[in-house]
Structure 1
Amino acid sequence: MGWRLRIPSLICFDAILINFAIIISYLVRFDGNITKPYWTNLFKLSIIATLIFLVIFYICKLYHRIWAYASTGELMTVLKSVTLGSLAVTFITYMTKFPVPRSIILLFWAFGIIFVGGSRFAWRIFVESRHHGKYPVVKNKKRILIYGAGDAGALVAREYKSHYNGSQPVIGFIDDDPKKHHLTIHGLPVLGGRENIPSLVCNYSVDEIIIAMPSVPRNSIREIVNYCKEYVASIKILPGVYQLLDGKVTINQIRPVEIEDLLGREPVRTNLKEISRYLKNKVVLVTGAGGSIGSELCRQIARVGPKKLVLLGHGENSIHKIWLELSEKFPELPLKVEIADVRDKPKLEIVFAQNKPDVVFHAAAHKHVPLMEMHPDEAVKTNVFGTKNVAEMADRSHCEIFVLISTDKAVNPSSVMGATKRMAELIIQNLFKGSDTKFVAVRFGNVLGSRGSVVPIFKEQIAKGGPVTVTHPEMTRYFMTIPEAVQLVIQAGAMAKGGEVFLLDMGEPVKIVDLATNLIKLSGFKPGEDIEIKFTGIRPGEKLFEELLTAEEGATSTRHKRIFVAKPAEIDYATLISELLELSKKQIVDGNEVFRCLQKMMPKLIHYRQEKVG
């Protein structure tokens, strides 16, 4: 039926239903014996009621809904519309002194809901019965348990039933609420709680468990996943509560459990309005724009609507990739690509003079700990003097905000990479003292999925059949996702007053060996049997655990409950300038020299490197 014919057809159909409801009401009221005066009364009432109800139905957009997907929301709209119509009819008949028995109005209201609402749901049942025949019956399909007998679980079960032509691959539900046990949802039983999973997997040959609890905290999800993966190879998850907002879910939205689901804490959320306010209609420059963090920064900044986004990077391939992506997704956004090295100060002067950025995010850095131990001079050139160059250009250009992306490895550093990032923090804190620009640093832990991080490496090793290499059985790290890290960086810019080092409450640190074990299990293998975990020993510059603060820094809360700010370190800035000058004169710098310079700037520094080497 065409759209132009659909609304007139529905109006005509509703007019018939309204009149039918009036007739039934009179028949019920007078026990099937309607006298002639009341037939006249009925005829007049039908004209008034039909006109009023059709107008109210149209105003309430009853004719603009797709009734093939009718749910409780549509039922509430019908209830509201019929109630408003009945009240309007009552008011008009009262004001005009039209004789209508009150019982007729009540009966008419009830029958109106039954006929109008029932017709909509009858149409949905008819459409669903037709659709069942369009899906092929799938043979040898998996046998599935749904963990969670709530709204999300019911939606998942209904989608599977529709997709498989009524031949349900779902055998039932698991739920930790005893009140739901022994009940049925869509004809499927709630088979008990978590403790019943081992026997159910055995008795029903369960192949897969789907976790359908999108509003449950992450720490609970991690506990459930860890329990379930002991008994089944395949675990999938419904990722977020937003899929339930329109009352629909599809099989494609159900995805395998990722390592991010096992962080054991809630994701960091940012104040989007606050972010929008300081980035919207501003010229924003991102260094290292082709990297994992830099490219995600560009994606999230682009959504806010800056005046111009400048992508600066040294690697042309990675910059070209993010440039093409942003050009396609945000065709109206002015983009400028700058192929430049942060160590090239004359080129940076040209870039800043041409683009005049208001906000700078400095993500360009050397970050791999073992490589920087081999090449400390390169770490110094990029992480120290590259940061100094970009920060000084931001100062000279009177940028509003400069955000340095730092690392937890800058706290009591034991590696050249951490030491050079600590120097970078000290440089911007020194610059802030005499500048109009708000200089801040953001310090966070390891980023899941970034280039060179453990998760992609582990996945490659698992794909090759192992072994998965872990440096030490007791090694722990703080972890966060790339979007979380970037949201923290952008939020820090919004909270910047100048000179701060922001850090994230990242929950409890995670053992690397546990991370490897979980990934092996989530890939459908057994650790130690199918895939071996091999310990290789701590590499140069590494610590068993990382810290987010030094003893002197302390931490104070901010208006964001998950973000804290460290107290600026007390250092001799004259010594800082002197040591940087000495470093700049040398072509080759070794790791111990970097630490000697840092020790002179910060005499209270706990010298982990000396303890390890000595």
Structure 2
Amino acid sequence: MRALTNLRRAIVTYWQTSLSRQSLRQLGIVHDILISFVAITLAMGLAWGLAPLLSIWQIWVLIGGFTLFSAIAFPFFSLNSGAWRYASLLDVVSIVKAVTFVNLAFLVVSFFIFRGAYLPRTALVMAWFIMIVGLGGPRLAYRLMKERGTSRAGEPGEEGGPNDNILIYGYNDNADLFIRNARRMRSRKTIVGILDEKPKNRRRHLHGVRVLGGLADIAKVVRHSELQALPVGEIVVAEPDVSPQTLSELVAAAAPLKVQVKRLPDINRTGVVDENAPIETIPVSLEDLLGRKEVDLDIGEVAHLINNRRIAVTGAGGSIGSELVRQIANFGPSLLLLVDNSEFNLWSIERQIAADHPELNCLGRTVDVRQKKRVDALFAEMRPEVIFHAAAMKHVPIVEENPVEGIETNLIGTRNVADAALKAGARAFVMVSTDKAVNPTNVMGATKRAAEAYCQALDLSQDATRFMTVRFGNVLGSTGSVIPLFQSQLARGGPLTVTDPNITRFFMTIPEASRLILHAAGHGIHDGQARGQLYVLDMGKPIRIAELAERLIQLAGLRPHVDIPIEFVGLRRGEKLYEELFSHEETREKTGRAGLLVARSRVSDVQLLSRHLTTLEAAVEAADVDRAVETLKRIVPEFRQSELGRPSAPVEPLRVVGAPAAPGMLAPPSRQPPTAG
């Protein structure tokens, strides 16, 4: 018995190693010629009988001519240009075309040679059917054998478990390719059935896999599968354009059943799937559930801003900064200057850029934006033409506990970089701001609003350098944001902590935010009427943090409040229940660019603002917290520092340029030179 097993293995090994793909193709050609010979011989025998077949030599001339004609004609129909294991209906169509052409053409040729003698018309009809069966049958049989098509899709292997039993959501081409790939790769996964919303697809089959119901039938289908000893562990979404709402409903329906939801890549795109490798499913992410529409970047404007120019990015190792660096590198700057005070973050992004763009002139400098002389010296040496300022302290509770550090980094640091950009003759300065700058109730938001005001004032006070500010909300997955926190809590088994059941935030992905920053910068540099304005990214609708936590638990195939608890711990100091993208004193305008809006707001007198910043810097150097915060309130009169929602008394505001003409309506910023305070 062992000898027979070894012999079988040796034969298989020889077959796999000795017969190249070209050899198999040649075998296919021989097969097709042989089928042609057998088909016409059998057809002639059936038409004439055995005796004439053995005695009339002209019949054999016709048989030989038909076979030769077939051998010449078949290559023109590409019958063996593809592998038999991937035979499809298109191959059958090619076979029908080739066989029809051979029979009709041979009929015409034989008429001219023998005047139609010795060739019964019924023989060609029979040969036509025999050839189609003989050429197509082995191909389909070979494919079925390779895909184990005689057995049910994905029979469970010896080591199969609950996660090896899956449902497919969507009766479409992707599902078809996935099932065939699973069979071809001899996957251990058992495809239990298909879910589809279209009534016309109910009870239909796809490669033997039955449509069992729709989204509303998930619980019933899963329970029925458990009774068949096939517990479902995974639902694979095959719909390429499934809506976020449907995906959320699917995740919510699967979570109580402890079933994970995954999706397929767009496997109809050329080059996405290797036909010799299994199709890997992708976990559904929070980004998929948000369903934000991708905004097309204006390549021309951004390329004009960056290509062959010296670009600097502060905070280059942070979440937003590093993604900005990656996207800027694609536009071919002559120099990419990376500035960060974290040695590790700087090393990480430098290594990525060196690997992805070895030809790019990329320099890293460990400089703290709070060090004015170092920033001045660096910009004087490198002469950057465009600066993206992303360096900041962004965590509200940390800045509340360390207000001096937050003011020094976010406000004094921004002033240092902006002033250095002006001295170096930069073409554009782009500051990354936050929605927390709107009606701020915490030091972090107030520092960002003050930084916005300083950049607005500089933009109006001179024409050499454009100072642009881009304001947006939270980004998913940024360092220290709520998503990584939830993921770490989930990995520990919970609970997930949320400050308040009703707290909401705006969210977008890091790549989308970075693209829109470039989008705003490219647009702003060409818009001469945009001076003193703030660019605001369209964040869509705010999302409840509690709902975000529930979705994250459901994505893990668990039940919120049952398998993983959610605890509400109360608002922290300085936090608001909701954030805003525009204040009541700002007018909102469209830019004509998708995803990009403009806010027109009050603009401070640059000289008076500079004096307050000098006072603020002195308080920071003296570590005088009360004086520093008080000065910050004078720069940002709308700043109402709260202790868990209790606002402080208002402070006398700074004088502004372009005051509102009427309550609630702001006049456009004036282009007149600012006056001394």
- TM-score, length-normalised on structure 2? 0.75
Q: Which amino acid aligns with 2:169?
A: Y
Q: Which amino acid aligns with 2:210?
A: P
User: Following the alignment from structure 1 to structure 2, what is the Cα–Cα distance between the partners of residues 313 and 518?
Assistant: 35
1:189 to 195, 210, 225: 210
Give the CA deviation at 1:305.
3.8
Match of 1:602 in 2: none
Give the CA deviation at 1:367.
0.4
User: Following the alignment from structure 2 to structure 1, what is the Cα–Cα distance between the partners of residues 391 and 296?
Assistant: 25
Alpha carbons 1:403, 1:440 under 8 Å: kept: yes
Match of 2:613 in 1: 580
Flag structure 1 segments of 5+ consecutive residues without an equivalent: 600-604
Change (3 A) 1:265 1:45: same
Alpha carbons 2:506, 2:539 under 8 Å: kept: yes
Match of 1:169 in 2: 190
Q: Deviations over 1:58-115 (max 9, x none)?
A: 9xxx64x5554x265xx548857996999899999999x9789999999999988877
Change (3 A) 1:276 1:527: same
Alpha carbons 2:95, 2:132 under 8 Å: kept: no
1:469 is paired with a residue of what secondary structure? Answer: strand
Match of 1:150 in 2: 172
Match of 1:399 in 2: 426
Alpha carbons 1:373, 1:591 under 8 Å: kept: no
User: Following the alignment from structure 1 to structure 2, what is the Cα–Cα distance between the partners of residues 259 and 269?
Assistant: 21
2:328 to 301, 306, 318: 301
Change (3 A) 1:418 1:577: same
Q: How many residue pairs end up in the alignment? A: 600
1:591 is paired with a residue of what secondary structure? Answer: helix
Match of 2:549 in 1: 516
Pairing 1:357–2:384 present: yes
1:448-597 correspondence runs (5 A): 448-497=476-525, 499=531, 500-567=533-600, 569-586=602-619, 587=621, 588-589=624-625, 590-597=628-635
Q: Deviations over 1:397-455 (max 9, x none)?
A: 34344322111111122221111112222222233332344432222211121111111
Q: Which amino acid aligns with 1:550?
A: S
1:256 to 274, 283, 290: 283
- Please say which of residues 325-334 and 407-416 is displaced more in the overlay: 325-334
Alpha carbons 1:312, 1:339 under 8 Å: kept: yes
Change (3 A) 1:79 1:185: closer
Give the CA deviation at 1:338.
0.8
Give the CA deviation at 1:387.
1.7
Give the CA deviation at 1:313.
0.4
User: Following the alignment from structure 2 to structure 1, what is the Cα–Cα distance between the partners of residues 232 and 630?
Assistant: 55
- Please say which of residues 288-297 and 493-502 is displaced more in the overlay: 493-502
Flag structure 2 segments of 5+ consecutive residues without an equivalent: 1-15, 650-677
Match of 1:138 in 2: 159
User: Following the alignment from structure 2 to structure 1, what is the Cα–Cα distance between the partners of residues 557 and 507?
Assistant: 23
Change (3 A) 1:378 1:81: farther
Pairing 1:328–2:328 present: no
1:321 is paired with a residue of what secondary structure? Answer: helix
Match of 1:441 in 2: 469
User: Following the alignment from structure 2 to structure 1, what is the Cα–Cα distance between the partners of residues 588 and 635?
Assistant: 26
Give the CA deviation at 1:158.
4.0
Give the CA deviation at 1:232.
1.8
Give the CA deviation at 1:488.
1.8
Q: Which amino acid aligns with 1:494?
A: G
Change (3 A) 1:453 1:9: closer
User: Following the alignment from structure 1 to structure 2, what is the Cα–Cα distance between the partners of residues 481 and 258?
Assistant: 11
Alpha carbons 1:152, 1:244 under 8 Å: kept: no
User: Following the alignment from structure 2 to structure 1, what is the Cα–Cα distance between the partners of residues 124 and 274?
Assistant: 36
1:222 to 240, 243, 248: 248
1:613 to 613, 631, 648: 648
User: Following the alignment from structure 2 to structure 1, what is the Cα–Cα distance between the partners of residues 125 and 335?
Assistant: 63
Q: Deviations over 1:325-350 (max 9, x none)?
A: 33333333332111111122322233
Alpha carbons 2:369, 2:414 under 8 Å: kept: yes
- Please say which of residues 473-482 and 211-220 is displaced more in the overlay: 211-220
- Please say which of residues 389-398 and 99-108 is displaced more in the overlay: 99-108
Match of 2:75 in 1: 54
1:191 is paired with a residue of what secondary structure? Answer: strand
User: Following the alignment from structure 2 to structure 1, what is the Cα–Cα distance between the partners of residues 18 and 524?
Assistant: 53
Give the CA deviation at 1:465.
3.8
Give the CA deviation at 1:579.
2.5
2:586 is paired with a residue of what secondary structure? Answer: coil
Give the CA deviation at 1:45.
7.5
1:457 is paired with a residue of what secondary structure? Answer: helix
Q: Which amino acid aligns with 1:138?
A: E
1:203 to 192, 213, 224: 224
- TM-score, length-normalised on structure 1? 0.82
Change (3 A) 1:523 1:106: same
1:598 to 633, 636, 649: 636
Report % sequence identity: 34
User: Following the alignment from structure 1 to structure 2, what is the Cα–Cα distance between the partners of residues 282 and 545?
Assistant: 40
User: Following the alignment from structure 1 to structure 2, what is the Cα–Cα distance between the partners of residues 242 and 459?
Assistant: 29
1:253 is paired with a residue of what secondary structure? Answer: coil
Alpha carbons 1:558, 1:565 under 8 Å: kept: yes
Change (3 A) 1:490 1:114: farther
User: Following the alignment from structure 2 to structure 1, what is the Cα–Cα distance between the partners of residues 129 and 339?
Assistant: 67
Q: Deviations over 1:122-165 (max 9, x none)?
A: 554444459x9999632334333222222333344444455565
1:241 is paired with a residue of what secondary structure? Answer: coil
User: Following the alignment from structure 2 to structure 1, what is the Cα–Cα distance between the partners of residues 147 and 294?
Assistant: 37
Pairing 1:17–2:32 present: yes
Q: Which amino acid aligns with 1:490?
A: L
Q: Which amino acid aligns with 1:263?
A: L
Q: Which amino acid aligns with 1:515?
A: L
1:237 is paired with a residue of what secondary structure? Answer: strand
User: Following the alignment from structure 2 to structure 1, what is the Cα–Cα distance between the partners of residues 295 and 18?
Assistant: 44
User: Following the alignment from structure 2 to structure 1, what is the Cα–Cα distance between the partners of residues 259 and 156?
Assistant: 24
Change (3 A) 1:22 1:442: farther
Give the CA deviation at 1:53.
5.2
User: Following the alignment from structure 1 to structure 2, what is the Cα–Cα distance between the partners of residues 84 and 26?
Assistant: 18
- Please say which of residues 404-413 and 301-310 is displaced more in the overlay: 301-310
1:412-427 correspondence runs (5 A): 412-427=439-454
Match of 1:291 in 2: 318
Q: Which amino acid aligns with 1:421?
A: K
User: Following the alignment from structure 1 to structure 2, what is the Cα–Cα distance between the partners of residues 302 and 111?
Assistant: 62
Alpha carbons 1:57, 1:81 under 8 Å: kept: no
Alpha carbons 2:313, 2:387 under 8 Å: kept: yes
1:190 is paired with a residue of what secondary structure? Answer: strand
Alpha carbons 2:43, 2:124 under 8 Å: kept: no
Pairwise CA RMSD of aligned residues? 4.3
Q: Deviations over 1:572-606 (max 9, x none)?
A: 4443333323323332353343122222xxxxx48
- Please say which of residues 420-429 and 233-242 is displaced more in the overlay: 233-242
User: Following the alignment from structure 2 to structure 1, what is the Cα–Cα distance between the partners of residues 378 and 126?
Assistant: 77
2:257 is paired with a residue of what secondary structure? Answer: coil
1:145 is paired with a residue of what secondary structure? Answer: strand
Give the CA deviation at 1:396.
3.5
User: Following the alignment from structure 2 to structure 1, what is the Cα–Cα distance between the partners of residues 514 and 632?
Assistant: 29
Alpha carbons 1:340, 1:347 under 8 Å: kept: yes
